[in-house]
Amino acid sequence: MNRISIDPITRLEGHGKIDIFLDEAGDVANTYFQVPELRGFEQFCVGRLAEEMPVITNRICGVCPEAHHMAATKALDALFGVEPPQAAHKVRELLYSAFFVTDHTTHFYALGGPDFIIGPDAPPAERNLLGVIRKVGPEIGRQVIDCRARNHHVIKTVGGRAIHPVAGLPGGWSRPITKAERDEIAAIAEKNVQFARFTLKLFDDLVLKNPQHLDLITSEAYTHRTYYLGVVDPANRVNFYDGKVRVVAPDGAELMQYHPSDYAAEIAERVEPWSYLKYPYLKRVGWNGFTDGAESGVYAASPLARLNVSDGMATPLAQEEFERFFETLGSTRVDGRYTPVHFRLATHWARLVELLYAAERMRELALDPEIVSPKLRAEPGPVTGRGIGCVEAPRGTLTHHYEADARGVLTRVNMIVGTTNNYAAMTMSVRRAAESLISKGRVEEGILNRIEMAFRLYDPCLSCATHAAVGKMPLTLRIRSASGAVIRTIVRQG
C-alpha cells in the first residue's frame, strides 16, 4: 500500500500531520489527520485558583486568547453565582467585537483569503499578504496592518494587554473605559465598518464575479452535509458573546437548542490512539465514523455553521449580506430561515459577513452611554461548585467547564475549544479533497494547496500571519511504498 505524508500541514492549535494511504488500484484508501501536540490544561489547571483561569487559559492559544479569556470569565460568573452589571457585559462584548474584527481580517488577507484573491493555483510565494498587496495595491497592505494595529490597541485599552488580556473577573471587569477612550474606540469602530464593507466588495469583485472561483466554492470536493452548531441570541440571530447553543440538521431542521451549561449531555468526545486531539460529536445522533449526513453526529462549528444555525444577523448591514450570502448560494427560505449552505469554501464569505457584524456591533456598543460606566463589578457570592462558560471563538463554539471546592480551588476542568469541534469535519474535508485529486496513483501537482485549502477554511488558528505574510509555508509530501521507501517527493518551498 502506498502512503502519502504531509507533515507539517500548517499550524492549527498544534502541529498537524496528514497521512494518505492508497489502495492497490492507487486510489485513496484512507486519510489520517493527526495532531501530535498536547499540553494538558485539563490536568494542570486542577489545584489552581479558579479566578486565575482567564489568565491561565489565555495561554491555550495566543492567536485567540480573548476567546479563552472570555469563556473563562463567564465560567467564573457561574462558578461564583454572580451576575455582572449590564455595563460589564457590554465592555466585555466591546473587546470581543474588536477581537473578531482583527482576527477575521487577519484570516482573510493573510491566511485563507489569498487562495481566492490571488487564485488557488498561483505559486505559494504569491499566495500571501504580499501577493495581495501586489494584486490589489499597496494601500491594502497598509489598511490591513492599520486594522490589526487599531483593534489590538482597543484590546489593550479595554483588556489591559494586547495579547493575553487580564481584566476578566467573576462578576465583572477590572478596568472601566474613560470617555476619551470611548471616543477613540467609536472612531475605530467606524473605520472597521468601512473596512468590512470594502472587504466584502473586494470579495465580490475578485471571487463572486469570477466563475471559476464560484465553481470551486460550489464543487463537490469541498461540500459536506453535516450538522451545524453555534450560539444564537434570543431572536435566534448570530451572537459571539452569549446565548443558547443551537444545532441544525443537514436539511436545516432544528435538532435542539440547549443552554451551554448542558453541553456535556449533548456533546461527547471520542479518542483515537493516533492523535492527541479528541473528536467531539452530537450524542443525540451518535458517532457513525467520519461520514456526512443526518445519521452521523459529526458537526461543524465555524463562521459557516453560525450563519447556518441562525435566522439572521442582529445588525442591519450584516443582515443584508446574510441574505445575499444565502440567496447567491442557492439556499431557500423554509419557515423563515434559510436552508444550510454546505459548501465549505463559503466559510470564507461567511467570515466576512461576520466581520461586518462584529464591526457594526462594536460601533453600537461604543456609542452606548453605559459603556463608560465606572461600575463594572458585582460582588461574587460563595462558590457554587460548578461553572460553565461559553462563547463563540472565531473558529467555533468554545466551552470552559470548571468545578471547584469551597475555597475556589479547581478540582476538575474540561474544555472543548473552537478548532476541536471541527476535527472530524476537517478530517473528512481532507479526505474528500484527497479523493478528488488522487486517482489511479496519479497525484495532481496542485494537491498540496488543494488539501491545505480543505482545512484552512476551518481554522487558521496558528497558521499565523507571521509565516503566511512572508510566504513561507514549506510543505513536503512523500509517497511511500508499503516497505517505507520513498517513491516520490513533492516539496513546496515557501
Residues annotated as binding site? 42, 61, 64, 415, 461, 464, 467
Which segments are annotated as binding site for Mg(2+)? Answer: 42, 415, 467
Nearer to another protein (CB atom), residue 119 or residue 171: 171
CB of 240 within 8 A of CB of 302?
no
Q: How far is the CB of 343 from another protein (least distance, A)?
A: 28
Nearer to another protein (CB atom), residue 453 or residue 461: 461
Q: Cα(379)–Cα(110) distance, rounded to whole angstroms?
A: 43
- Among 153, 164, 159, 144, smallest CA distance to 57 is for 164
Which segments are annotated as binding site for Fe cation? Answer: 64, 464
Length of the chain measured in residues: 494
Q: Cα(488)–Cα(207) distance, rounded to whole angstroms?
A: 34
Q: How far is the CB of 211 from another protein (least distance, A)?
A: 34
CB of 247 within 8 A of CB of 254?
yes
Provide the angle, in degrees to the nearest 10, between the axes of the packed helices 86-106 and 179-203. 40
Cα angle 273, 274, 275 (rounded to 5 degrees) comes to: 100
- Among 248, 290, 272, smallest CA distance to 432 is for 290
Nearer to another protein (CB atom), residue 264 or residue 367: 264
CB of 217 within 8 A of CB of 345?
yes
Q: How far is the CB of 152 from another protein (least distance, A)?
A: 6
Work out the number of other CB atoms within 10 angstroms of the CB of residue 19. Answer: 17
Q: Cα(222)–Cα(402) distance, rounded to whole angstroms?
A: 37
Q: Cα(235)–Cα(319) distance, rounded to whole angstroms?
A: 13
Which segments are annotated as binding site for Ni(2+)? Answer: 61, 64, 461
Nearer to another protein (CB atom), residue 55 or residue 248: 55
Nearer to another protein (CB atom), residue 76 or residue 78: 76
Q: How far is the CB of 154 from another protein (least distance, A)?
A: 13
Q: How far is the CB of 307 from another protein (least distance, A)?
A: 26
Q: How far is the CB of 167 from another protein (least distance, A)?
A: 5
Q: Cα(164)–Cα(56) distance, rounded to whole angstroms?
A: 9
Nearer to another protein (CB atom), residue 234 or residue 273: 273
